[in-house]
Amino acid sequence: MLRYLTAGESHGKALVAVLEGCPANLPLSEEDIDRELERRQQGYGRGARMQLETDKVEIISGVRQGKTMGSPIALRLANRSMEFFDQAVTAARPGHADLAGSLKYGQRDIRNILERASARETAAKVALGAIAKKLLSQFKINIFSKVLEIGGKTSEKDWKKAIDAAKEAGDTLGGIFELTVTGCPVGLGSHVHWDRRLSANLARAIMGIPAIKGVEFGQGFEVAAVPGSEAHDEIFFTKDKGYFRKTNHAGGLEGGMTNGEPLILRAAVKPIATLKKPLKSIDIATKKAVEALVERSDVTAVEPAAVIGEAVVALTLAEALVEKFGGDVLDDILASFNHYVGRLMK
């Protein structure tokens, strides 16, 4: 069983993460993880913190002499920016967890909510996702992302202009990114229970990223407007290829399982909720009308959201892979995987 936990606050000492269930003998270095962390910090429209933070991971446990040991892998990412941590906040920000979290947990200082609810936590997920990607690559499963639009603009030239305009206006923008996974064998996930359906687990992972408001697979919402003859993928077979499809409306998932075609999903990212030109709100201490809190923020974060999407999809697929093929050592899982793939061709 592969599972993970993260901890830490946006402006606290550090983020930490633990990954349990990674098989032994997977080659892994801090550089493998740092490359993914660097990708998360890139993108047009990013704010000042990306110049202040240069994320570098420290592997605390679970790796020795460049290979995993089969024991839990613990990671630490130090925060260089901590100056806000002791500053109290009472002006709730619309669109954030500020008000709901403060009411739920009985907090009079919103700082106790916003620090953990911050998208800064996703750095820990990207670090863990780098390990999952390394594991998946051993099985020739690879994940790619691309931005489809930002602020309603579908070309990079146009969305950069839109980002510049939003920055000038003190506003923010959202967008849509797409993920494609190649190399998945038939049968990751299962139809037998709701919580084993890979489509459900992937959707949960994507929706767990801050600012994600929607996710679709393959044709997604478009499938509701077309007849069945245009919604489903006809099945073919040849001895050299085995079963295959000429279309991929389903996005590589049928009945909660991978079907051998590329897995394709898209996610909608809402505009960032911290605006330089703040929205109206309420001070939870005085109950008086105020402008929402303004701290460092991005104009848009669709590009890094795509990288985070890659990470959580990698973790979800790695979990499904380990569940299906078992084994405590990488070579054992590879042997089981290769035997299974060979059986599918018969």
Task: Give residue-wise pLDDT tens across range 76-105.
Answer: 999 988 888 989 999 999 999 999 999 999
In our burial notation (b when 16+ CB lie closer than 10 A, e otherwise), range 125-137 reads bbbbbbbbbbbbe
CATH code, 301? 3.60.150.10
The reported pTM is 0.95
The torsion angles phi and psi of 27, rounded to 5 degrees, stand at -60, 130
Structure tokens belonging to residue 179: 């993920």
Residue 75 CB-half CA count within 13 A: 32
- Which stretches within the chain are classed as H helix? 30-40, 49-52, 98-105, 111-117, 122-137, 156-169, 198-207, 228-231, 302-325, 330-344
Single out the residue of 37, 119, 129 nearest to residue 313, CA to CA: 129
Structure tokens belonging to residue 139: 């099985």
Q: Which residues are 74's β-sheet partners? A: 18, 61
Task: Give the chain's length.
Answer: 346
Decide if 168 contacts 338 (C-beta within 8 A). Answer: no
Question: The tokens 């139809």 sit on which residue?
Answer: 191
CB atoms within 10 A of CB 231: 16
Maximum distance among all Cα pairs of the chain, rounded to whole angstroms: 73
Burial bucket for residue 314 (CB in 10 Å: 0-12, 13-18, 19+): buried
Decide if 305 contacts 209 (C-beta within 8 A). Answer: yes
* pLDDT tens-place values along the chain, 346 residues long: 899 999 999 999 999 999 999 999 999 999 999 999 999 999 988 765 555 558 999 999 999 999 999 999 999 999 988 888 989 999 999 999 999 999 999 999 999 999 999 999 999 999 999 999 999 999 999 999 999 999 999 999 999 999 999 999 999 999 999 999 999 999 999 999 999 999 999 999 999 999 999 999 999 999 999 999 999 999 999 988 888 999 999 999 999 999 999 999 999 999 999 898 999 999 999 999 999 988 777 999 999 999 999 999 999 999 999 999 999 999 999 999 999 998 887 7
Measured between alpha carbons, how far apart are the two ends of the chain, in Å? 29
Host domain of residue 302: 3-344
Please, which residues have CB within 8 angstroms of residue 309's CB and are 6 or more apart in sequence? 145, 177, 179, 206, 209, 267
CA distance 268 to 211: 8
Q: How many domains does the structure of the chain reveal? A: 1
3-state secondary structure of 140: coil
Question: The tokens 């897995």 sit on which residue?
Answer: 263
Host H or E run for residue 268: strand 263-269
